[in-house]
Chain A
């Protein structure tokens, strides 16, 4: 089946640093979504991307839909302790409504 490679698997950063993570796919996606999941909770939608090349921001978060439609990245600027959690990318193939393919997640830890 389709696979999403998400990297890095984990990150330890100092508070105030910028963070970058990315996902690559073997398939072309028509939608990329980025989620954050805290322990014991469901994933929370951060950013949704619908067009190749699209760059979208949500506060300190910025995500881009790669021009090949097989990749996406998420940047977090000036990280703060509440950014701790697991970040997931998810992609959707044309015609596969509801069937999001998730990466394995990037675990972010912030040192105060």
Chain B
């Protein structure tokens, strides 16, 4: 039973570039959430996708966008990269239960912006 898988594991970009990160949810899960984790901090919620639509969004600018595909996998896109976007980007999947979801995380994509 595959867990949450993310690709790539590491990425180096320069300021102003665009990046796409990918996530496949745990088998049986239909909901994907994305988090940003800066060094030494807890993860911060970016947004959640369910039924191919953005359902909830955290306090992140429109440069951060996403997509969910019919097979429940998801992408996170970040445009016009800033140095401050350097972080570990975590994908979490869950089964939509309405309340009390258990989120299972992937190993993340470490993004460095130079």
Tell me the A residues contacting B by CB distance below 8 Å: 1, 4, 6, 30-31, 33, 35, 40-45, 48, 50, 88, 90, 92, 94, 96-105
- Contact between chains at B105 and A100 (CB < 8 Å): no
Q: How far apart are the CA atoms of A40 and B108 in the complex, in Å? A: 8
By beta carbon, the residue of chain B nearest A94 is B99
A-B contacts, 25 of them at CB < 8 A, read A6-B42, A30-B100, A35-B105, A41-B107, A41-B108, A42-B4, A42-B105, A42-B107, A43-B43, A43-B90, A45-B103, A50-B100, A88-B42, A90-B42, A97-B31, A97-B48, A97-B101, A98-B55, A98-B56, A98-B101, A99-B33, A100-B43, A100-B45, A100-B103, A102-B43
B58 located at the interface, meaning its Cβ lies under 8 Å from any Cβ of chain A in the complex = yes
Contact of A98 among B31, B59, B106, B108 (CB under 8 A): B31
**A-B pairs, 7 with minimum CB distance:** A102-B42, A98-B48, A42-B105, A98-B33, A99-B45, A42-B107, A43-B105
Q: How far is the CB of B70 from chain A (nearest CB, A)?
A: 19
Contact of B103 among A6, A33, A101 (CB under 8 A): A33
Contact of A45 among B43, B58, B90, B104 (CB under 8 A): B104
By beta carbon, the residue of chain A nearest B58 is A99
- Contact between chains at B59 and A104 (CB < 8 Å): no
Residues of B within 8 A of A42 (CB): 4, 90, 92, 105-108
Q: How far apart are the CA atoms of A97 and B102 in the complex, in Å? A: 10
B61 located at the interface, meaning its Cβ lies under 8 Å from any Cβ of chain A in the complex = no
Residues of A within 8 A of B86 (CB): none
- Contact between chains at B42 and A33 (CB < 8 Å): no
Residue-wise interface mask of B (14-54) relative to A, using a CB-CB cutoff of 8 A (1 in contact, 0 not): 00000000000000000101010000111111001010000
